[in-house]
C-alpha cells in the first residue's frame, strides 16, 4: 500500500509565506538588457530551441512590453545569471485592480527548490502594495508542474468561462486565482477530506478527485461550484495511480 505523505500540501507549515526563510534573494529588474535575458530564459524554458536570435528577443520586447509601474519583472540570479523569474502586471477589471502573474520559469537545474514559491510571494507582496484585490494566472491544463506549483502557492483553479475576455482560452487553460483581501495564509487542505473523496464521483458532495486528463469532468465540477485545490502525483494517495486534481465545493460568499 503506498504511503500517504504526512504533510504534502499547503498546510500552515509549508505555505509559500513560510518557505521564505531558506530562500535566495529576489531582485526586481528594470533595465532592457536584464529584460532581454529574462525573455530569453523564459523562451528556453517554454521548450524553444536554446539558440534564440537577438531579433526574436527584440520582437518579444515589443510584444510583451517593457517594465513600467504596471508591469514589473522579478528574478533570481545565480552567479550573475538569471535562473528563474516571473512578471506581475496590474490590470483594471470591473473597477477593481487585479494582478496578473505571468511568464514564470525556473531553469531545470534549479527546479524543486521553492524558487517558484519565493517569486510568487514577492509578486503577491508587490500586488498587495499596489492595491490589487486579486492575483491570477492562466495555466495550461496539461502543465502538471505549473498546476502543482501554483496550487501549492495557494491559488484555486477554476474555469475561464466566467472571464468573458478570456473565454476563448477555456479549452486549453485554467484560471488560477488567489484572493488578496485577506492576510491569512491560504486555507489548509485537510488530508482526511482528500482521503474521504477517493473513489467518489458525486457532484452533490463537497470533495472530488478527478483524473487530470478528464478535462470535461473537471469543467463539469467547476460548473457545479467546485474549485481545484491541489494536483496530486501518482501514488501520493492510496490506490490513486494517475495525476489527479483535488477539488472542493466552494462556499457561497
Ligand atoms: C512551472 C515551473 C516554474 C515550476 O517550477 P518548480 O516549482 O521548481 O517545480 P518543478 O518543475 O520541480 O515541478 C513541480 C512539481 O510538479 C511535479 N511534476 C512535474 N512534472 C510532472 C509530471 N509529468 N508528472 C507528475 N508530477 C510532475 C514535480 O515532481 C514537482 O513536484 P513536487 O511539488 O513534489 O516538488 C517550472 O516547471 C518551469 O519553469 N516550467 C517551464 C515553464 C512553465 O511551464 N511556466 C509556467 C507557465 S504557467
pLDDT digits (tens, 9 = 90+) for 190-221: 999 999 999 888 898 999 999 999 999 999 99
* 71-94 residue pLDDT tens: 999 999 999 999 999 999 999 988
Q: Look-up: residue for cell 502586471?
A: 89
Distance, CA 145 to ligand 1 centroid (Å)? 3
Residue 158, strand partner residues: 175
Mean pLDDT calculated for residue range 53-76: 92
CA–CA distance, 11 with 156 (Å, rounded to integer): 15
pLDDT reading at 247 higher than 60 = yes
Residues in Cβ contact with 219 at an 8 Å cutoff, skipping those fewer than 6 apart: 159, 161
Distance, CA 108 to ligand 1 centroid (Å)? 9
Instruction: Please state the pTM of the whole predicted model.
Output: 0.90
Distance, CA 92 to ligand 1 centroid (Å)? 30
Residue 74, classed as helix, strand or coil, is strand
pLDDT band at 252 (very low <50, low <70, confident <90, very high): low
Residues enclosing ligand 1, CB less than 6 A? 45-46, 104-106, 111-112, 115-116, 139, 143-146, 148-149, 233, 243
Longest dimension (CA), the chain: 54
Amino acid at each position: 500500500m503506498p504511503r500517504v505523505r504526512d504533510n504534502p500540501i499547503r498546510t500552515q507549515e509549508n505555505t509559500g509565506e513560510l518557505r521564505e526563510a531558506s530562500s535566495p534573494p529576489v531582485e526586481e529588474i528594470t533595465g532592457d538588457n536584464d529584460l532581454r535575458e529574462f525573455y530569453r530564459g523564459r523562451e528556453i524554458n517554454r521548450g524553444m530551441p536554446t539558440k534564440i536570435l537577438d531579433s526574436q528577443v527584440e520582437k518579444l520586447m515589443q510584444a510583451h512590453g517593457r517594465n513600467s509601474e504596471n508591469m514589473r519583472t522579478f528574478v533570481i540570479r545565480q552567479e550573475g545569471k538569471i535562473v528563474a523569474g516571473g512578471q506581475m502586471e496590474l490590470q483594471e477589471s470591473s473597477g477593481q485592480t487585479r494582478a496578473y502573474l505571468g511568464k514564470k520559469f525556473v531553469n531545470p537545474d534549479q527546479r524543486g527548490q521553492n524558487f517558484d514559491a519565493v517569486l510568487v510571494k514577492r509578486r503577491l507582496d508587490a500586488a498587495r502594495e499596489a492595491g490589487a484585490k486579486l492575483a491570477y494566472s492562466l495555466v495550461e491544463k496539461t502543465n502538471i508542474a505549473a498546476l502543482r506549483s501554483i496550487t501549492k502557492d495557494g491559488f484555486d483553479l477554476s474555469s475561464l468561462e466566467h472571464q468573458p475576455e478570456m473565454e476563448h482560452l477555456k479549452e486549453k487553460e485554467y484560471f488560477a486565482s488567489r484572493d488578496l483581501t485577506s492576510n491569512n495564509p491560504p486555507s489548509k487542505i485537510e488530508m482526511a477530506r482528500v482521503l474521504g473523496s477517493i473513489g467518489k464521483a458525486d457532484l452533490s458532495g463537497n470533495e472530488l478527485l478527478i483524473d487530470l486528463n478528464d478535462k470535461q469532468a473537471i469543467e463539469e465540477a467547476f460548473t457545479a461550484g467546485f474549485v481545484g485545490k491541489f494536483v496530486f502525483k501518482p501514488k501520493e494517495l492510496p490506490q490513486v495511480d494517475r495525476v489527479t486534481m483535488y477539488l472542493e465545493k466552494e462556499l457561497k460568499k
